[in-house]
Every structure is written in C-alpha cells, then in structure tokens.
Structure 1
Amino acid sequence: MEHRLFLNRIAECTAQFTPVVDAAYADSDYRFLDLSTTNEILKEVDTSSSEAIQLYINTFLAKTGGRVAYGGYLEKRSIYDRSLYFNNDNPELKRNIHLGLDVWVPAGTAILAPVAGTVHSFKDNTNYGDYGPCIVLEHRFEDFHFYTLYGHLSRASLSALTVGQKISAGQTFAHLGTSEENGDYGPHLHFQIIKDMQEFKGDYPGVSTHKKLDFYKNNCPDPNLLLKIS
C-alpha cells in the first residue's frame, strides 16, 4: 500500500483523542515534553539518572498544570548515552533518535488499546536501558494491517497473555512498570506504530541511528496519528 494512503488509513482508525493510558486522564491533562538535545534546561539535569529525569518531569508538570507528559517522536536524545545497548563510539552507529511516543504517568497506570487487535507477541527485554516487559498488538483490517508496540510495562502484564488473544478497543490489557523492571527509566509508556515487524517478536527497535532514520521513519509513522493528542 502506498505510504501516504497507509498513513491516512491509520489516522482514520480513530476519530478523536484516543487514550492509550488510563482514560481518567483527559486530553487537557497532557503537556508536550521536550527531552531532545536542543533543550538547554536538560544540560543541568543528570540524564544518566532515572530519578533525576523523573524529578525534572514532575517539576515540569507541576509548573504547567498538567498530569501527563508526552512526546518524543523522532526526537534526538542524550538520555541513551548511559547505556551500552544504545551507545557506540562510532557516531554513525549511535542510536539516539526516538521512534515512538512516550507517555509519562505513574507506575501501575492502566494501558489501553487504542484500536482493536490481537496479541502478536510479548517479551521481557532485560538489557539495561531496554523496554523491560513489552507487548506487541497486531491490527488487521480488510485491506491493510499494522502493529502497535507497548514498552516499559510491569512484569505482571505478561503473565496472563497468550499469542492471538483478542483485545478490544479501549480495553485495559497491561499496566506500567516501575524503574526496577522497565529498563531503569522513570515510569512511562513507549508507544510505537510499526508497519512491518521484520520477524521481531516482543521487541522492535525504538531508537534509530541517523544513518537508518529514513527507513524507520517510513516503517514507524507518528503514533499521534492514532492518539490525536492535541
């Protein structure tokens, strides 16, 4: 399917703001968060510390009157430098461009399916700085299909799942994990749309090198096409 048509079809799957975390949070509770290398304030934050980043986000929300911080699609970040899983001495091999959309809310928050689907795969990715527990849903329609990925979940979220299990739109199917189980991040959801899973299961690259960005931009479109956070 031609790429522009594919994007349009994804956008048509939802008509308005569609929560991917607890529906008690309204669209008006969300605040856009900049964690990019161009954010001068972050130069004063120890981005190697999940506690320091979480304190920064809590302060940001308090100052802006929000309850949920979100953002990060195609954002170049320094927070991955702390992990050998992403870092590399060769700049061309350094993965630091974020391919999903992050939603920062407390551990234990319910995760909702924005559209109906089935469980494609799930896995606990235990590398330092990785997803931790992760679930991938598959969404099939008459003439196209795609996948959504949910990273940094609780381990308990994986315990009752089965591959092929049906998930309804708006259904709670997981919960956010703590820093101790989510790859050592402040609690947040990494949400990503994927066109072709390339045989990955329970995992898919969520951070790209600059060299491979054109491919991943095409294969992982903007998650806000579905969520429509304004």
Structure 2
Amino acid sequence: MAPLNFKDFLFGISTKSLCVLNTSIQNSKYIHLDLSENNTSLQKVDVSSSTRLETYITNHIKKHDALVAFGGYNEVRNIYKRSKYFNLGNDSERNIHIGMDLWSDVNSPVFVPLDATVHSFKNNTNFGDYGPAIILKHSINTIEFYTLYGHLSLASIENLKLNQVFKQGEPLGTLGDASVNGDYPPHLHFQIIKDIDNYEGDYPGVCNKADLDFYLKNCPDPNLLLKL
C-alpha cells in the first residue's frame, strides 16, 4: 500500500472534529466568515480599525445565532495593507492568509487538539503580527508536524516551558485583546506546519502570491483536523 500523503494523514488522524476552542461549542454554532477582498459588504468597513472590524464580526456572529466565526485559509485579504510589516510594495506584499482564524470573545480558552510538546513560543510585537504565539510539536506514527496558535494573551506564555508536555484536550492559553494581539479583534490563528525550518515562536501566517504554492503544501488547510 502506498504511503498516505500529508493531507490524507492529517484528515485520517480522527473521524471526529478536533477542538481548539471549548468542546461545549457545537459545530452548528460555528459560522463561516469571509474576510476576502471580494467581500463587498466588508468594503464598507474601515478594516484598519480593530474596533470597527470587531463590530462587523460580532454582528455577523449574532446574525447567524452562532458563537464563533471561522475561515480565512488561502484567502486574499485587504486588512494587511495597514501594516508595513506585510506591505513592502511590488510583488513582495503579503496578503494571502494561510491559517484558519477562529473569532471569539477575549479570554476564550484555547485547547490542545492532539498530544504535543512545546516547540517554542514568543511575543511577536510587530504591528499586525501574532502577539503572543505558541508552536506545538506533534508526533503520530513516526510522522512529526507542528501547530501554531497566534494572537494569544500574554498570560498564555508567562509560565510556559520548552518541551513542556500537553495532552489532548488540555488548556493551552486564552485569546488576547487588541492591545497585545497585533491590534485585531480577539481570535485564534491556528495553522498546521509540516516543516518548521529554523523558526521559533513564529512562522509566516500570511504570504505573497509568489510563495503561495510552497506555503499551501507546507501548511495544509487546518480544517483537515477541525472538520468544521
């Protein structure tokens, strides 16, 4: 039998949804959110303002009687234009999101979806960056890969240790607010990484068009695990 490719491996880890937010939130209470440049309703919102973007997202969640908004994988967005960290001009502009965002209330708990050890963590303080982020290392059937959790609270990394062991379902941290999370509405950036290279506490979550093929292969759709 031929070996599974990485995407098939990820999808086959569990037949059920793996949770990174509260397990009491049913999948029916998650609603997809489009933050792409093609969303005409978003074009009326000043997305450079975290407060106004939060109002838009909160209203979207309430309109659909949901608790969490999710989406954003392989999504071209305009919200990064406000930050020089992403917008260097020409073809180097990074505006394609390669993780999944889960938008919820500040201080919402974040949970470990699979047994893991702490690979690295850091407070990424560039404007528009992750703020506090944690990278976990997973090893299943001799296959190693990583998951990244961005836009956390400062408390999430205060007492963390390298190589610290987490079991599936254990609390990892909480969502930060705009003052610490890169100036965004509260949300979790969740990303799968096959090859972490030399990164520690950070890994690109937004790329440019020229590098997209590489990142789509190295960072498959997180919904392969979450199954929302």
Fold equivalence (TM over 0.5): yes
Query: Aligned partners of 1:208, 1:39: CA distance in 2, in Å?
Result: 20
Q: Can you list the C-alpha shifts for 1:65-115, whole angstroms capped at 9, x where unaligned?
A: 11100000000000000001001221x100000010000001101101111
TM-score, normalization by structure 1? 0.96
Question: Is 1:109 aligned to residue 108 of structure 2?
Answer: yes
User: 1:147 maps to which residue?
Assistant: 146
Distance 1:4 1:143 in 2: 13
The offset of 1:4, in angstroms, is: 5.7
Q: Measure the CA separation in 2 of the matches of 1:99 and 1:164.
A: 26
| Secondary structure at 1:202 match in 2 | coil
After TM superposition, the structure 1 = structure 2 runs for residues 60-209 of structure 1, keeping only pairs within 5 Å, are: 60-90=60-90, 92-209=91-208
Residues 93-102 or 8-17, more deviating: 8-17
Deviation at 1:37, TM superposition (A): 0.4
CA deviation vs aligned residue, 1:106-149 (integer Å, no higher than 9, x gap): 11011011111100000000000000000000001233110000
Deviation at 1:6, TM superposition (A): 1.4
Distance 1:13 1:20 in 2: 15
- Pairwise CA distance, 1:202: 0.3
1:167-222 CA distance string (max 9 Å, x none):
11111111110110000000000000000001100000000000000000000000
Q: Which residue of 2 aligns with 1:30?
A: 30
* Alignment deviations for residues 1-23 of structure 1 (CA, whole Å, 9 cap, x no partner): x9962111111222212221122
- CA RMSD between the two structures: 1.2
CA offset at residue 25 of structure 1? Answer: 1.4
Code of the aligned partner of 2:105: P
- Structure 1: tracts of 5 or more residues without a match: none
Shift of 1:24: 2.4
Q: Does 1:47 align with 2:31?
A: no
* Residue aligning to 1:212: 211
Identity percentage over the alignment? 48
Write the letter of the residue equivalent to 1:173: L
Give 3-state SS (helix, strand or coil) of 1:191's partner. Answer: strand
TM-score by length of 2: 0.97
Q: Secondary structure at the match of 1:40?
A: coil
Give the 4+ runs in structure 1 shifted more than 3 A: none
Which whole-Å CA distance do the structure 2 matches of 1:7 and 1:157 have between them? 29
May I ask how many residue pairs the two structures share in their alignment? 227
Cα distance in 2 for partners of 1:116, 1:143 equals: 14
* Structure 2 residue 10 is the aligned partner of structure 1 residue 10: yes
Partner amino acid, structure 1, of 2:23: A
In the aligned structure 2, how far is the partner of 1:106 from the partner of 1:173?
16
